[in-house]
Chains A and B, each alone.
Chain A
Amino acid sequence: MSYESRPVSARYRQNLRNNLGGRLIGILLFLCASVTVVTTIGIVAILCIEGFSFFAEVSPIEFFTGTKWTPLFTSKGFGVLPLISGTLLIGLGAACVALPLGTLTAIYLSEYATPKIRSVLKPMVEVLSGIPTVVYGYFALTFVSPFIKEYLYPEAGPYMAISAIIVVGIMIVPIVASISDDALRAVPRELREAAYGVGSSRLEVTTRVAFPAALSGIIASYILAISRAIGETMAVTVAAGARPNLTANPLEAVQTMTAYIVSVSLGDTPHGTIEFKTIFAVGLTLFFMTLVMNVISSRITKRFREVYD
């Protein structure tokens, strides 16, 4: 990536005289890094500007406490609770699938698997997070939902939260497994050896020494995974349906915040209307929910690092 083709000695002399080029490159590279900061500022600015202009027309109290979400109908309801409940139902439901599976996988990988099995199993688990989410949507709609309908709950409609919960849960298993595995492996060997030395079995070392010692890292992975599930869009849009529904029943169709945003952008709602501005208000809510969870998760991770490094 040389930007000059003169001999080294000439370049060297020139740089000694005046390091303008070097400084210029430093500035250029700084600008590259600042793109990420500008992105964040852009996201916050756009969500806030359009979101606040939405809240100028709809009171935040109505937005956050209303239970009817029908902004595209003639009798408009701007209560976001049905979307939040749909999002939390999927997010927490997916957690019920992913946290046990991910934790067991992490424990298996770090405490039981031989290096050879580990080198095969870990990449295979990580493939789960590399599959596009629209593929999970297809799987939920053409395999999981019909399966549930046929064998478990024949009254269900074509869309149901449970099938989105299952695929989103599987999708976030690698997040839990990977980060928890790292946390377990960061537990110093001495702790384990001390426990073995007083006669503990492997189960006891795992559950009473390694697991508690890695707990903060494991919890950080849980929060991160739930935050990822909440922000998930396509599988939920395809499998969970498009009906804002204030329910905790996973067999019904629900709509999440992300699915709502997609449904508006797929429709022909004109820009600048109050109907269109709802996506910014919903987006703002979603952004802050995931941001708070990510910040908590990274705080916990940092604290955990200080203990063992």
Chain B
Amino acid sequence: MSSENNPSRVRSGLGSSDFRTNLAFRHLKGRMFYLLCLFGSLVGILLLVTLINDIRQDGFSYMSKHFFTNFPSRKPEIAGFHGAIMGTLWVMGIVAITSFPIGVGAALYLEEYAKRNKLTSLIQTNISNLAGVPSIVFGILGLQLFVRGTIGYGPAICIGEQCGFGRSVMSGALTLTLLILPIVIVAAQEAIKSVPPSIREASYGVGATKWQTVSSHVLPQAMPGIMTGMILALSRAIGETAPIIMIGALTFVAFRPEGPLDPFTAMPIQVLNWISRPQAAFHDLAATGIVVLLVTLLTMNTIAVLIRVKLGRSSSR
């Protein structure tokens, strides 16, 4: 924005008296700044559209029934996503089962039970710091703790020949559970905080104990918010690649896991495997996998939004 060619600028030595004479220029500057901000916020959206368009162009070339029923193959025409979809389902099932009770329990403790002391604030600070730890570091944790059953010092936890959970669905799921726990806890805390204190007081007033109050009044009221947070956390876990690569999810799996201790692959891992091959056909397969991944995420986010909308309606009653 050059100001040399503006005549009013010359008189700016007069101090505040040029306030009005400068007005047109100040308005022009304001207009330009507005456009700059608008442009800045549209760049991100524009790239999002480009990205989706890029994927849409290649993402349907291999979309067929085979893609969902076949296992990966060296021949792109018959390669499929089945193992990856089943692997992701297995992992996400266990992540949901483990992270829900632990996350809600921790949130209940922090909001309803904990005294306001140093220990509580330490736990709270720790949760927010944990949320900022790079996911690959969680992968290193999972690799030692769950895959090998040791922290690197002292004996490993073994059952017979098997130490830890090996490179299995269980190791992947527990690693992802620890990764999303901070998100689940913070979301559940927000939901519990938003339950009005009057409800608790009414419950105590008729003689209910703390747990009766929490379990039959606070939790049901907070449940929609908790579910929304839970779904968003799970959708984060579905896309996580780095930690499950670390624990050794296989990139070529021609079988589906039958139990929690089986080896597995997951959707993002299979996509990565296809991306890292040089042939363009595999890149198209990767794009097809990405479409499946994104549609899954979109569905989950829509469900989360629907729950939130329903929550808004029920609380206004």
Which A residues contact B (CB, under 8 angstroms)?
1-3, 8, 11-12, 15, 19, 21-22, 25-26, 28-37, 39-40, 42-43, 45-47, 49-50, 53, 100-101, 103-105, 107-109, 111-112, 121, 124-125, 127-128, 130-139, 141-143, 170, 173-174, 177, 199, 201-204, 206-207, 224, 227-228, 230-234, 238, 258, 261-262, 265-266, 271, 279-280, 283, 286-287, 290-291, 294-295, 298
| Residue B9 lies at the interface, judged by CB distance under 8 Å to chain A | no
| Residue B315 lies at the interface, judged by CB distance under 8 Å to chain A | no
Having A46-B152, A206-B33, one finds 14 other A-B pairs with CB under 8 Å, namely A2-B215, A12-B209, A29-B106, A39-B130, A46-B141, A50-B152, A104-B39, A131-B297, A136-B51, A137-B272, A231-B136, A265-B246, A287-B133, A298-B128
Report whether B132 and A133 are in contact in the complex, using a CB–CB cutoff of 8 Å: no
Of chain A, the residue at the smallest CB distance from B305 is: A123
CB distance from A207 to the nearest CB of B (A): 8
A217 to B20, CA, bound (A): 34
| Residue B69 lies at the interface, judged by CB distance under 8 Å to chain A | no
A141 proximity list for chain B (CB < 8 A): 275, 283
User: Of B143, B148, B275, B287, which is within 8 A of A238 by CB?
Assistant: B275
A104 proximity list for chain B (CB < 8 A): 36-37, 39-41
Q: List 22 A-B contacts (CB under 8 A).
A: A2-B216, A22-B211, A29-B106, A32-B109, A34-B123, A39-B141, A49-B152, A53-B152, A112-B37, A133-B239, A135-B290, A138-B271, A143-B51, A201-B27, A204-B26, A228-B132, A232-B134, A233-B134, A238-B272, A265-B248, A271-B148, A283-B136
| Residue B306 lies at the interface, judged by CB distance under 8 Å to chain A | no
| Residue B265 lies at the interface, judged by CB distance under 8 Å to chain A | no
User: Of B27, B144, B178, which is within 8 A of A39 by CB?
Assistant: B178
A187 to B145, CA, bound (A): 45
Report whether B141 and A132 are in contact in the complex, using a CB–CB cutoff of 8 Å: no
| Residue B140 lies at the interface, judged by CB distance under 8 Å to chain A | yes
Of chain A, the residue at the smallest CB distance from B54 is: A143
A124 proximity list for chain B (CB < 8 A): 45, 48
Report whether A128 and B44 are in contact in the complex, using a CB–CB cutoff of 8 Å: yes
| Residue B135 lies at the interface, judged by CB distance under 8 Å to chain A | yes
| Residue B79 lies at the interface, judged by CB distance under 8 Å to chain A | no
B148 proximity list for chain A (CB < 8 A): 271
Of chain A, the residue at the smallest CB distance from B238 is: A132
Report whether B126 and A42 are in contact in the complex, using a CB–CB cutoff of 8 Å: no
A131 proximity list for chain B (CB < 8 A): 51, 239, 294, 297
Report whether B211 and A137 are in contact in the complex, using a CB–CB cutoff of 8 Å: no
CB distance from B115 to the nearest CB of A (A): 11
**Residue among B43, B51, B126, B219 facing the most chain A CB atoms (10 A cut-off):** B51
User: Of A138, A230, A265, which is within 8 A of B290 by CB?
Assistant: A138
A13 to B255, CA, bound (A): 56
A102 to B134, CA, bound (A): 21
Report whether B153 and A49 are in contact in the complex, using a CB–CB cutoff of 8 Å: yes
Report whether A258 and B136 are in contact in the complex, using a CB–CB cutoff of 8 Å: yes
Q: CB-defined interface of B19-60 with A at 8 Å, one 1/0 digit per residue?
A: 100000011011001101111110111011011001100100
A99 to B130, CA, bound (A): 24
Among B153-171, those with CB < 8 Å from A are: 153
User: Of A19, A29, A40, A280, which is within 8 A of B109 by CB?
Assistant: A29
Report whether A36 and B185 are in contact in the complex, using a CB–CB cutoff of 8 Å: yes
Given contacts A47-B140, A133-B241, A233-B136, whether A121 and B41 have CB atoms under 8 Å apart is yes
Report whether A12 and B276 are in contact in the complex, using a CB–CB cutoff of 8 Å: no
| Residue B207 lies at the interface, judged by CB distance under 8 Å to chain A | yes
* Chain B count of residues within 8 A CB distance of the other chain: 96
Report whether A45 and B151 are in contact in the complex, using a CB–CB cutoff of 8 Å: yes
Report whether B137 and A43 are in contact in the complex, using a CB–CB cutoff of 8 Å: yes
Which B residues contact A (CB, under 8 angstroms)?
19, 26-27, 29-30, 33-34, 36-41, 43-45, 47-48, 50-51, 54-55, 58, 101-106, 108-110, 113-114, 122-123, 125-130, 132-141, 143-145, 148, 151-153, 178, 181-182, 185, 207-212, 215-216, 219, 235-236, 238-242, 245-246, 248, 251, 268, 271-272, 275-276, 283, 286-287, 290, 293-294, 297, 301
A8 proximity list for chain B (CB < 8 A): 212
Of chain A, the residue at the smallest CB distance from B269 is: A134
Given contacts A39-B141, A142-B283, A234-B242, whether A261 and B105 have CB atoms under 8 Å apart is no
Given contacts A42-B151, A199-B19, A233-B135, whether A108 and B113 have CB atoms under 8 Å apart is no
Report whether B108 and A134 are in contact in the complex, using a CB–CB cutoff of 8 Å: no
A46 to B39, CA, bound (A): 46
Given contacts A139-B51, A141-B275, whether A134 and B45 have CB atoms under 8 Å apart is no
User: Of A130, A238, A291, which is within 8 A of B129 by CB?
Assistant: A291
Of chain B, the residue at the smallest CB distance from A205 is: B30
Report whether A294 and B129 are in contact in the complex, using a CB–CB cutoff of 8 Å: yes
User: Of B122, B127, B293, which is within 8 A of A132 by CB?
Assistant: B293
Report whether B44 and A170 are in contact in the complex, using a CB–CB cutoff of 8 Å: yes
Given contacts A46-B145, A142-B54, A233-B134, whether A36 and B127 have CB atoms under 8 Å apart is yes
CB distance from B173 to the nearest CB of A (A): 15
Report whether B209 and A15 are in contact in the complex, using a CB–CB cutoff of 8 Å: yes
B272 proximity list for chain A (CB < 8 A): 134, 137, 234, 238
Report whether A290 and B134 are in contact in the complex, using a CB–CB cutoff of 8 Å: yes
B152 proximity list for chain A (CB < 8 A): 45-46, 49-50, 53, 280
B127 proximity list for chain A (CB < 8 A): 36
A40 proximity list for chain B (CB < 8 A): 126, 129-130
Of chain B, the residue at the smallest CB distance from A30 is: B109
A279 to B137, CA, bound (A): 10
